[in-house]
Chain A
Amino acid sequence: MKLSLGPLQYFWPREHTLAFYREAADWPLDIIYLGETVCSKRRELGTRDWIALAAELARSGKQVVLSSLALIEAESELGVLQRLVDHGDCWIEANDLSAVQLCRERGVPFVAGPTLNVYNHHALAMLMDDGLRRWVPGVEQGHVLLRELREAMRAEQREMPELEVIAFGRLPLAFSARCFTARALDVAKDQCGFRCIDYPDGMPLATREGRPFLRINGIQIQGEEITDLGPELPQLRELGVDVLRLYPQAEGMAEMVAHYHLARRSPVAPPRIGARNGYWHGEPGMRVPETT
């Protein structure tokens, strides 16, 4: 099994980000996803910086994939996507249909990201004809659906692409035209002051009973819980999962990568260090309180 570092979902200061990836170059990772997937206003690293970082990390032997925005609204955002695709040296993580189409038009291989909405074998096969090489299913899809999809592919004598599953991190649940960080701080979206840089793991949102519930991350909403599929590794293996995705968190990523590196080489499942991902088991994604 390969290990990947998913794209950075948060907004970190430039030096912090560069130092993080400098360290990551030495971690036992196979694949690193780079780029801004949440908000185009986050420009501590510009497109040129991400591409330069990609070249640097590729020299350390990792496969580097350039990730695209999940929601593209402005012409300028489309321009950035065009530059990523035209760069040509890296696969693209296509997080919306715009990226799929540009890759298809240019013949650039792509990874279907978790926000692309691929739910069945037929859609997957069509995207493979368009250049899809690896697929990260959306957060809702658990082992039963993936097993059915794999069997359906086999029945139609289609090869599966590489299958990458989100193993560790806060799940990306929703995207909006609205910036929820700006709203929480009562500033206009266009005058946000890039304040999400103050929340390196997002902004906690709790219920009125004080129960941690969601994370606000600019225009994105995440689940509060940091999910961990470590204990399910035997099942993931049996299902033919090729890549485990770990999403960057502000603290402790080196240890987390080391933990998964050890786990992938061991026949014994590791203990759970994060939250159980209900989606994987066909349940609500979050842990639902038993009593009120």
Chain B
Amino acid sequence: MQLVCPAGNLPALQAAIDAGADAVYAGFRDQTNARAFPGLNFSDDELRDGIAYAHQRGRQVYLALNTYPDSARLPQWYAAVDKAAEFGCDAIIAAEMAVLDYATRTHPALKRHLSVQGSATTAPALRYAHERFGISRAVLPRVLSIQQVERLCEGSPVPLEVFAFGSLCIMVEGRCQLSSYVTGASPNRHGVCSPASFVRWEEHDDGRRSVRLNQVLMDRFEPREPAGYPTVCKGRFEVGGEVFHALEEPTSLNTLELLPRLAQAGVAALKIEGRQRGVAYVGSVTRTWRDALDRYRASPQDWAAQPRWQSALSKHAEGHQTTLGPYHRSWH
């Protein structure tokens, strides 16, 4: 199985490659990708440098073009596809039909991976993307149980990539409008979820803190309580007279213990989430998964998730908690 790691910027790309990533995924510094945060992503020159760095070491670079342009902005996405081909990216990761179709017709040799934002969860959906756009890989949304992933591996016309570790989007990717409902800016259209410009922290006299997203209270924290980033899905709200994380606790997905099943199912690649995270995260998480994968490859029969791996990964998890999430049927 290939290890695909996040590269939010050039130092992160180099850290991921140095730590043993088989491929990294990156985005341009604009709304053509789903992590259009200030201070993140690549200029043209940085991407060229990054590709050279990876290719010199025999690794690959995928370019995320995984947002949904409206009609007026399509030329900007098409230009990004052109650049991906010109710079020698190994694949683009896209979900939007016009972008995929343009790439198919204009640069047939440039590989196309169906992005997680494409929300393809079944063999017919994968067949559509394969027949229409000749995709050579699809990234599965984080909604399927391990049994469903295994079944889909059997029926898919293309190799599959699954999320292995990182912050957990609990909604079907590419189909969540919670951020735009509150702020007007959306993951699909603008590549942002809960943009920082809408976030406001308030310190209270008693040491408590409140956090608002465009004036709407997302959560309130006790004086020494750790506070996470205020996405709508990880806020605390009142339902039926009780206040709790009604949608999800701040926690990270960690599928390390499922590694043998994913390998046996024929999953082609494991994806690490976190282009918005720093170099330390990328280096450490990549190194840990590299070690786990190498040991599995060397001796699949003896493989077991080692405590030191889990402890290294927990350090980088949101709220220091990890979950098998939807891979596990009892997740609720």
Chain A interface (Cβ < 8 Å from any Cβ of B): 70-75, 78, 96-98, 100-102, 104-105, 115, 117-123, 126-127, 138-141, 145, 148-149, 151-152, 171, 173-180, 182-185, 187-190, 203-211, 213-214, 216, 221, 223, 278-279, 282-286, 288-292
Contact check, B332 vs A279: say whether CB atoms are below 8 A apart: no
Contact check, A205 vs B246: say whether CB atoms are below 8 A apart: yes
Contact check, A71 vs B172: say whether CB atoms are below 8 A apart: yes
Contact check, A119 vs B69: say whether CB atoms are below 8 A apart: yes
B188 beta carbon closer than 8 Å to chain A: yes
How many angstroms from the CA of A96 to the CA of B144 in the assembled complex? 15
Chain B residues with CB under 8 A of A183: 246-247, 332
- Total interface residues on B, CB under 8 Å, equals 72
> B238 is contacted by which of A190, A206, A291 (Cβ under 8 Å)?
A206
> A174 is contacted by which of B70, B124, B178, B330 (Cβ under 8 Å)?
B178
B297 beta carbon closer than 8 Å to chain A: no
Chain A residues with CB under 8 A of B101: 122, 126
The smallest C-beta distance from A208 to any residue of chain B, in angstroms, reads 6
The smallest C-beta distance from B309 to any residue of chain A, in angstroms, reads 25
**B181-199, CB < 8 A from A:** 181-184, 186, 188-189
B29 beta carbon closer than 8 Å to chain A: no
Contact check, A149 vs B243: say whether CB atoms are below 8 A apart: no
Contact check, B144 vs A177: say whether CB atoms are below 8 A apart: yes
Contact check, B70 vs A208: say whether CB atoms are below 8 A apart: no
Contact check, B188 vs A140: say whether CB atoms are below 8 A apart: yes
How many angstroms from the CA of A105 to the CA of B127 in the assembled complex? 10
Chain B residues with CB under 8 A of A278: 184
List 10 extra interface pairs beyond A126-B132, A177-B145, CB under 8 A.
A72-B121, A73-B144, A97-B122, A127-B97, A140-B177, A140-B186, A178-B170, A205-B238, A216-B246, A221-B247
The smallest C-beta distance from B39 to any residue of chain A, in angstroms, reads 24
> A284 is contacted by which of B127, B184, B330, B332 (Cβ under 8 Å)?
B184
Contact check, B216 vs A288: say whether CB atoms are below 8 A apart: yes
Q: List 20 A–B pairs whose Cβ atoms lie within 8 Å, in order of A's numbering.
A: A73-B121, A98-B125, A120-B68, A120-B69, A120-B70, A121-B71, A122-B97, A141-B70, A148-B71, A171-B177, A177-B170, A178-B247, A178-B332, A204-B239, A205-B237, A223-B181, A279-B180, A282-B184, A284-B180, A285-B180
Per CB-CB distance, the 4 closest pairs between chain A and chain B, nearest first, are A122-B98, A177-B143, A97-B125, A177-B326
The smallest C-beta distance from B124 to any residue of chain A, in angstroms, reads 4
Chain A residues with CB under 8 A of B148: 73-74
B151 beta carbon closer than 8 Å to chain A: yes
Chain A residues with CB under 8 A of B182: 284-286, 288
